[in-house]
Structure 1
Amino acid sequence: MKQNYYKFALLYIFVYAAMGSVFPLIGQYLLGLGFKGTQIGMVTASATAIGIIAAPVWGNIYYKTNNNKHVVLFLCFAAVLVPVFLLQISDFYLFLMGYILLFFFQVPICPLADTMTLEASHDFGSVRKWGAVGYAGGVFIAGQLASYFGLQWIFILFSMTSFAAGIMVWIIMREKFDLKEERENYEEKENRNTDSMLELLGNRKYCAILLSAFFVLGTNIANNTFFGFLYTSGGGSLGGIGLVFLLMAGSEAPCMAWVHRFSAKFTLERMILFAMLLSACRFFWYGSGPSSSLLMSTFFLQGIVNGILLIEFIRYAAKVVEIAFLGIAMSFIQAISCNGSTILCQMIGGYFMDHFGINAVYLGFAAMNLIGVFVYLFFRLHIKANDKV
Structure 2
Amino acid sequence: MGYFKERLYQQYVILFIFYFMAMAALSSLITVYMRGLGKTGSEISFILILSNIIALIIQGMIGYSNEKWGTRKTVTIYVLVSSVISCGLFFFTDNWLFGIVYGLANAITLGLGPLFDVLAANSPYRFGQIRLWGTVGYAGGQQIAGIIYDFLSPKSIFVLYLVLYLLSIVFLYLLPQPAEPAASPQPASGKKDEAAGGNTIKNIFQNKLFITYLLLAFIIFGTNMINTSYLPLLLTDTGAPVAIVSTTLTVALFAEVIAMGLSHRFMDHFTNKQLLLGVLFLSGTEYLINFLSHDFLVLSIATVLTKFFASGTFIMLNIKMVSTLLNRKLIATGTAVVAMLSRNVGTIFFQLMAGPIIDNIGLNYLYLVLFLFTIIAFVIALLFKVPAQPKERLFS
Task: Please state if 1:370 is matched with 2:372.
Answer: no
Q: 2:47 aligns with which of 43, 53, 57?
A: 43
Partner deviation per Cα, 1:185-223 (whole Å, 9 max, x = no partner): 99x94579x993333333333332222111112211221
Q: What one-letter code is carried by the residue in structure 2 that aligns with 1:248?
A: A
> Which deviates more from structure 2 when the two are superposed, residues 83-92 or residues 198-207?
198-207
Say which SS state the counterpart of residue 265 (structure 1) adopts.
Answer: coil
- Seen in structure 2, the aligned counterparts of structure 1 residues 280 and 176 have a Cα distance that, compared at 3 Å, is same
Query: Aligned residue for 1:131?
Result: 134
* Cα separation, 1, equivalents of 2:248 and 2:186: 48
* 2:61 pairs with 1:53: no
Distance (whole Å) between structure 1 residues aligned to residue 184 and residue 26 of structure 2: 38
- In structure 2, the CA distance between the partners of 1:68 and 1:251, relative to structure 1 (3 Å rule), is closer
Partners of 1:259 and 1:119 lie apart in 2 by: 16
Quote the offset at 1:295 in angstroms. 2.1
| CA RMSD of superposed structures (Å) | 2.6
Any unmatched runs of 5+ in structure 1? none
TM-score normalised by structure 1 residue count: 0.90
Contact 1:114 1:330 in 2 (8 A): no
Partner in structure 2 of residue 149 of structure 1: 152
- Quote the Cα distance in structure 2 between the aligned partners of 1:8 and 1:149: 31
- Check the 8 A contact 1:218/1:342 in 2, yes or no: yes
Matches within 5 A, 1:153-192: 153-172=156-175, 174-179=176-181, 181=183, 189=191
Provide the aligned length of Structure 1 versus Structure 2: 383
Structure 1 counterpart SS, 2:324: helix
Give 1:59 deviation, angstroms. Answer: 1.1
Q: Which residue type is aligned with residue 325 of structure 1?
A: L
Decide whether aligned partners of structure 1 residues 182 and 155 sit closer, same or farther in structure 2, where only a CA change above 3 A counts: farther
Secondary structure at 1:251 match in 2: helix
Matches for 1:295-306 after TM superposition, within 5 Å: 295-298=299-302, 299-306=304-311
**1:229-280 deviations in Å (ceiling 9; x for gaps):** 2112223222212111111222210112113312333334312211111211
* Deviation, structure 1 residue 182: 6.9
- Superposed structure 1 runs of 4+ greater than 6 Å apart: 182-186
Task: Sort the Cα spacing of 1:115 and 1:263 in 2 relative to 1 into closer, same or farther, 3 A.
Answer: closer
Aligned to 2:330: 325
SS at match of 2:268: helix
Tell me which residue corresponds to 2:212.
Answer: 208
Given the superposition, is the C-alpha separation of residues 345 and 122 from structure 1 closer, same or farther in structure 2, using an over 3 Å criterion?
Answer: farther
C-alpha distance 184-264 of structure 1, shift in aligned 2 (>3 A): closer
CA gap 1:245/1:86 in 2 versus in 1, 3 angstroms: same
Percent sequence identity over matched residues? 22
Tell me, yes or no, if the aligned pair for 2:268 and 2:389 is still in contact at 8 Å. Answer: no
The amino acid of 1:233's aligned partner reads D
Aligned equivalents of 2:209, 2:128: Cα separation in 1: 22
| Within-5 A mapping of 1:265-280 | 265-280=269-284
Residues 199 and 330 in structure 2, CA contact (< 8 A), matched pair in contact too: no
SS in 2 for 1:266: coil
Q: Deviations over 1:154-188 (max 9, x none)?
A: 2111111211221222222x3333236379999x9
**1:349 deviation in Å?**
1.6
C-alpha contact 1:125 1:257 (8 A) present in aligned 2: yes
Q: Measure how far apart 1:121 and its partner are.
A: 5.1
Q: Helix, strand or coil for the counterpart of 1:211?
A: helix
The residue identity in structure 1 corresponding to 2:177 is E
Measure the CA separation in 1 of the matches of 2:265 and 2:283: 21
1:74 aligns to 2:77 (yes or no): yes
Does the Cα contact within 8 Å between 2:55 and 2:104 map onto a contact in 1? no
Alpha-carbon spacing, 1:319–1:4, altered in 2? closer, same or farther (3 Å):
farther
> Using the alignment, how far apart are the partners of 2:132 and 2:329 within structure 1?
25
Q: What TM-score do the two structures reach when normalised by structure 2? A: 0.88
Question: How far, CA to CA, are the matches of 1:356 and 1:202 in structure 2?
Answer: 41
Q: What are the superposed Cα offsets for residues 265-313 of structure 1, whole Å, 9 maximum, x if unpaired?
A: 3334312211111211210111012411122233132232112111112
Runs of 5+ consecutive residues of structure 2 not aligned to the other structure: none
Closer, same or farther in 2 for the Cα pair 1:332/1:212, shift >3 Å?
same
Aligned to 1:83: 86
